Amino acid sequence: MTEGPTSATTASTAATAADGAKSGRIVVDGHPIPFEPGDSVAIAMLRAGETPGSGGTLCLAGDCGNCLVQVDGVAYVRSCQASPRPGLVVERHPPVDMPPLPVVTDPDLGVPPPGRVVAVRRIETDLVVIGGGSSGKAARARAKRAGRDVVLLDAAAGDEVVAIYGGPMVVVRTPSGMLHVGARQIVVATGAAEIHPVSPGNELAGLLTARAAERLHAAGLDLGTTVAVGTPPKGSRYEIVSGRLVRFEGDQSRRVRAVVTADEAGEETTTLCQTVVLGLGRAPRDMLARMAGDAPVSVVGSAARDIPLPPPPTEGVVCPCSGTTVEDLEGAWDRGFQELELIKRATLAGVGTCQGGACLPHLRSWIAARTDAVPEPFTARPASRQITLAEASAGTYIDAFRRTSLHDEHLALGGRMDRFGGWWRPWHYGDHVAEYWAVREAVSLGDVSTLGKLVVSGPDVVEFLERLYPCNVVDIKAGRSRYALLLNERGHVIDDGMILRDGETRFVLSFTSGGAANAEMWVRDWIETWGLQVHVLDQTMSLAAINVTGPLARLLLQRAGLADPPRFLGHVHADVAGVPCHVMRLSFTGEAAFELHHPINGSVELWRALMELGQDLGIRPHGLKALFGLRLEKGHVIVGMDSEMDSTPRRLGMDWAVRMEKPFFIGKPALARTAPLPDHRRLFGFTMPGDAPTEGSPISSGGEIVGHVTGSWASPLLGHAVMLGWLKRTPFPERVEIDGREAVVASTPFYDPEGLRARA
Where does this chain bind another protein (CB under 8 A)? Answer: 120-122, 395-405, 407, 423, 455, 457-459, 461, 505-506, 533, 535-537, 539, 541-543, 599-601
Nearer to another protein, 129 or 534 (CB): 534
Which of residues 419 and 490 has its CB atom nearest to another protein in the complex? 419
Cis peptide bond N-terminal to 112, omega within 30 = no
- Nearest in space to 635 (alpha carbons), one of 752, 550, 728, 714: 752
Closest distance to another protein from the beta carbon of 397 (Å):
3
Closer to another protein by Cβ: residue 599 or 716: 599
Distance CA 199, CA 157 (A): 34
Question: 104 vs 537, which CB is nearer to another protein?
Answer: 537
- Which residue type does 258 have? A
Is the Cβ–Cβ distance between 734 and 744 less than 8 Å? Answer: yes
Residue 94: phi, psi to the nearest 5? -60, 145
CB closer to another protein out of 418 and 655 = 418
**Shortest gap between Cβ of 448 and another protein (angstroms)?**
14
Q: Which is nearer to another protein, 134 or 533 (CB)?
A: 533
- In whole angstroms, the minimum distance from the beta carbon of 535 to another protein comes to 4
Measuring CA to CA, which residue among 63, 614, 40, 648 is closest to residue 321?
A: 63
User: Which residue, 527 or 736, is less far from another protein as judged by CB?
Assistant: 527
Cβ(81)–Cβ(17) below 8 Å: yes
Instruction: State the nearest-atom distance from the C-beta of 400 to another protein, in Å.
Output: 4
- Shortest approach of another protein to residue 402 CB, angstroms? 4
Q: How far is the CB of 428 from another protein (least distance, A)?
A: 22
Q: Which residues contact 725 (CB under 8 A, 6 or more apart)?
A: 683, 684, 686, 699, 707, 708, 709, 710, 711, 738
- 169 class by beta-carbon count within 10 Å (0-12 exposed, 13-18 middle, 19+ buried): middle
Exposure string for 471-500, b = 16+ CB within 10 A, e = fewer = bbbeebeebbbbbbbbbeebbbbbbbbbbb
| Closer to another protein by Cβ: residue 200 or 599 | 599
Q: Nearer to another protein by C-beta: 455 or 714? A: 455
Yes or no: say if 288 and 191 are a contact pair by the CB < 8 Å rule. Answer: no
* Smallest distance, another protein to C-beta of residue 458, A: 5
First to last CA, the chain: 74
Residue 600 one-letter amino acid: I
| Closer CB to another protein, 124 or 704, in the complex | 124
What HEC string does 173-206 produce? Answer: EECCEEEEEEEEEEEECCCEEECCCCCCCCCCEC
- DSSP 3-state of 429: coil
Decide whether 535 or 567 has the Cβ nearer to another protein: 535
Nearer Cβ to another protein (305/402): 402
585, β-bridge pairs? 594
Instruction: Please state whether 570 falls in left (phi above 0), alpha (psi between -120 and 50) or beta.
Output: beta
* Rounded Cα distance, 131 and 191, in Å: 8
Q: Is 122 left (phi over 0), alpha (psi -120 to 50) or beta?
A: beta
Cβ density class 614-642: b for 16+ within 10 Å, e for less? beebebbbbbbbbbbbbbbbbbbbbbbeb
Q: How far is the CB of 154 from another protein (least distance, A)?
A: 24
Supply the minimum distance, in Å, between the C-beta of residue 11 and another protein.
Answer: 21
Other beta carbons within 10 angstroms of residue 543's beta carbon come to 21
Q: Which is nearer to another protein, 184 or 403 (CB)?
A: 403
In 3D space, the residue among 289, 266, 285, 2 whose CA is nearest the CA of residue 128 turns out to be 2
Nearer to another protein, 124 or 327 (CB): 124
Beta-carbon contacts of residue 608 (< 8 Å; ≥ 6 apart): 409
CB of 399 to another protein, least distance (A): 8
Minimum distance from CB of 741 to another protein (Å)?
43
Question: Cβ closer to another protein: 402 or 416?
Answer: 402
Listing DSSP states for 673-724 in one string gives HHTTS----EEEEEEESSSPPPTT-EEEETTEEEEEEEEEEE-TTTSSEEEE
Q: What minimum distance in Å lies between the beta carbon of 128 and another protein?
A: 18
CB of 505 to another protein, least distance (A): 6
- The CB-of-544 to another protein minimum distance in angstroms stands at 9
CA–CA gap between residue 721 and residue 692 (Å, rounded): 5
Q: Are 247 and 201 in contact (CB under 8 A)?
A: yes
Q: How far is the CB of 601 from another protein (least distance, A)?
A: 4
Count of CA atoms in the C-beta half-sphere (13 A) of 534: 29
- Rounded least distance, CB 512 to another protein, Å: 16
DSSP state letters, 483-504: EEEEE-TTS-EEEEEEEEEEET
Cβ closer to another protein: 16 or 450?
A: 450
Q: Based on CB atoms, which residue is closest to another protein, 48 or 417?
A: 417
Q: DSSP letter at 321?
A: T
**Shortest Cβ 245–another protein spacing (Å):** 51
User: Residue 339, class by beta-carbon neighbours within 10 Å (0-12 exposed, 13-18 middle, 19+ buried)?
Assistant: middle
Residues 6+ apart with CB under 8 A from 565: 554, 557, 558, 572, 583, 585, 594
Name the residue among 483, 411, 479 with its Cα closest to residue 447. Answer: 411
E-only strand ranges, 273-333:
275-279, 282-284, 297-299, 317-319, 324-325
